[in-house]
Amino acid sequence: MPGPIRGEVEKAKNFKVAITRMIKELKPFYIPSFFATLFASVGSIIAIITPNKLSELTDEITNGLTGQMNFDAVWSIVIVVAILFVTSLVFEIIEAFLMTDVSNNFARLLRTQISEKINRLPLKFFDNHQTGDTLSRVTNDVDSVAQSLNESLSTLVSAVTLLVGVIIMMFVTNGIMAITSIISGLIGFFFVFIVLKRSQKYFTMRQKELGNLNSHIEEIYSGLNVVRAYNGKKESDQEFDKLNKKVYDANRKSQFLSGLMPPMMGFIGNLGYVAVCVVGAIMVMNHAITFGSIIAFIIYVRMFTSPLSQIAQALNYLQLSAAASERVFEFLDTKEMPDQKDATMRLDKDKVKGKIEFKNVKFGYKKDQLIIKDFSASIKPGQKIAIVGPTGAGKTTMVNLLMKFYDINSGSISIDDVPINKLTRENVHELFTMVLQDTWLFSGTIKENIVYNRTHISDARVKEVCDTIGLTHFIKTLPHGFNSEISENESVSAGQRQLLTIARGMVEDAPFLILDEATSSVDTRTEELVQKAMDKLMQGRTSFIIAHRLSTIKNADLILVMKDGNIVESGKHKELIEKNGFYAELYNSQFQNA
């Protein structure tokens, strides 16, 4: 099959799959959707009945102009028409309310599914996908699905009902003029399908390019200080303009093509009016029909072209919905973390002794590229273990494997002789207190940031930890102390952020402690204070310390020296210095550079 044809077939297949999936996901809303479409259909049926009543009214008035006016008959018809109009209005309002409720609840359901999905995705998904693109799927794509659903579903049903009903009524009224109207309408619909076929790819492109633009914006604004410091504004603006131009082009082409439909249908409608007037005038002259029938037929012509235009517009919205939902469902179908059906054991953190063993561990972020090639180590309870090595040696990766953030390729990791693949991720996480070099604050009070997600921490414990690490002075400078509101965007120094992160880790009483460059952003005086607090915190706990400042881990019980994913040396500081090996080279280089 030639490339262009295969591409068109694939697009049609994707459109069908996306619409089918969306209908399946709408299952919880079938009942309100059914009533919404039912009310829309009833409104269309009322609209179909109205022209006949107007035809009767026109004939009564015509007869009155040439003879005696039957006001009772006229008022009777006027009342019936008024009732029909009011009833139609009521049904349209109910239908609009139901569809608004359905579309917004459907959007809420999708956002809930995405939120739950995020917590089930492995970290490697976020390593390989831009944050801005993921956010765009949660916001722009879900909103597009909801909006297009609200605009298309009931409109499509009512338009089809109206179209079928009008065709029947036109043939009932007069077959010749019905054929005249239908032929002119089909010509327009033929062109509509050509436009729809060409515009689908631009709707898909629009959502994709919008995600790329959001990714760029998120990236630039999150690192705005770096952009300004390196005078990168010009380059970032150029990249923004390039991505913005792509969004503009996709929007322009999709909206231009979809915008062709109303004028095309308007032209066909006007052509139908002319044809009906000419044919109708000839038939009136031959006394084949009455003048009221022509009035009714002109209304039917308008009603015939209107649903064609509505169907085209609804298909337009369905194209946008298919493009957006395809991205949403692609995210929802992403492979999740392996299930935990084999994780049948549980360790009580109050009873854990603190033994950890790595045995022939192999791991790579990509299957064909191993980072940890054959790692083995036995950690005794209460030991203070330092992991050192050059950048990229695999130090942080080992911690990520220990925390079950990633699953190992082969080998085993065990806690108190229990393999961690037999423990749930939640159970493993509650056994560790983890302080990272990457600080993270959320919008909330100082206390809420320290206590984060733990309800059993007392105020006294929070104050004790802050006193220990020297954070109290900073907190006292804030207007409301521990109840002062801060966020990630607040003007809080990197050192203060790290102290808050350290305090968050210290308030938890867990049997294992992981410090990943935990003092990298604090000054020397504060580091000494924090180091003393950490020494106190590490008493009776099995601790892992990742550090580039080797002077901070001289009192470690065991130093593991990593290089290229393997342990090349192990021992205490003095022993490793005396070996004059790779560790000694790393240690001495720091003082040479100093």
> What are the boundaries of each domain within the chain?
3-332, 356-593
Nearest residue to 349 (alpha-carbon basis) of 540, 533, 504, 557: 540
Cα 544 from Cα 556, distance rounded (Å): 9
Question: How far is the CA of 302 from the CAs of 267, 310, 314, in angstroms?
Answer: 11, 12, 18
Q: What is 484-534 written as a DSSP string? A: -EE-TTS---HHHHHHHHHHHHHTS--SEEEEESTTTTS-HHHHHHHHHHH
H helices present in 26-141, as ranges: 30-66, 71-118, 123-128, 131-136
From first to last of the 594 residues of the chain, give the pLDDT tens digit: 444 434 444 545 566 676 777 777 777 776 777 677 777 777 767 766 666 666 666 666 666 666 566 666 667 777 777 777 788 788 778 877 888 888 888 888 888 888 888 888 887 787 777 777 787 787 778 888 887 777 777 777 777 777 787 788 778 777 777 787 777 767 766 776 777 667 767 777 877 888 788 777 777 776 776 677 667 778 888 888 888 888 888 888 877 877 776 677 667 767 777 777 777 777 777 777 776 677 777 777 777 777 777 777 777 777 777 778 888 888 888 888 877 777 788 888 888 888 899 888 888 877 777 778 888 888 888 888 888 888 777 777 888 888 888 888 888 999 998 989 888 888 888 888 887 777 777 778 888 888 887 777 888 888 988 888 788 888 888 888 888 888 765 567 777 777 888 888 778 778 888 888 766 666 777 677 667 667 766 777 888 888 777 767 888 888 888 887 777 888 888 888 888 888 888 888 766 554
Domains 3-332 and 356-593 share a fold: no
**Which class in CATH covers the domain with range 356-593?**
alpha beta
Nearest residue to 301 (alpha-carbon basis) of 394, 429, 162: 162
Angle between helices 175-222 and 261-285 (to 10 degrees): 170
| End-to-end CA separation in angstroms for the chain | 67
Q: pLDDT (tens digit, 9 = 90+) per residue, 52-63?
A: 666 666 666 666
pLDDT number for residue 414 = 92
Question: How far is the CA of 402 from the CAs of 407, 419, 431, 512, in angstroms?
Answer: 9, 11, 11, 11
Write down how long the chain is: 594
Cα 233 from Cα 236, distance rounded (Å): 5
Cα 590 from Cα 553, distance rounded (Å): 14
Q: pLDDT (tens digit, 9 = 90+) per residue, 443-487?
A: 788 888 888 877 778 888 889 888 887 888 888 888 888 888 887
pLDDT number for residue 108 = 85
Other beta carbons within 10 Å of 289: 18
- Collapsed DSSP state (helix, strand, coil) of residue 445: strand
Nearest residue to 385 (alpha-carbon basis) of 559, 146, 515, 254: 559
Q: Residue 35, class by beta-carbon neighbours within 10 Å (0-12 exposed, 13-18 middle, 19+ buried)?
A: middle
- Collapsed DSSP state (helix, strand, coil) of residue 566: strand
pLDDT number for residue 68 = 63
pLDDT number for residue 174 = 76
Our CA angle for 564, 519, 559, nearest 5°, is 40
Cα 156 from Cα 107, distance rounded (Å): 20
Question: For residue 174, what are its two tokens?
Answer: 């007069």
Cα 93 from Cα 82, distance rounded (Å): 17
Question: For residue 467, what are its two tokens?
Answer: 């006193």
Nearest residue to 24 (alpha-carbon basis) of 455, 371, 333, 487: 333
pLDDT number for residue 594 = 47
Question: For residue 413, what are its two tokens?
Answer: 């990791």
- DSSP state, residue 553: G
Nearest residue to 552 (alpha-carbon basis) of 329, 388, 441, 415: 388
Cα 433 from Cα 541, distance rounded (Å): 10
Contact residues for 212 (Cβ-Cβ < 8 A; gap 6+)? 130, 132, 133, 243, 246
Rg, the chain, Cα only = 36
CATH tag, 3-332: 1.20.1560.10
Other beta carbons within 10 Å of 372: 22
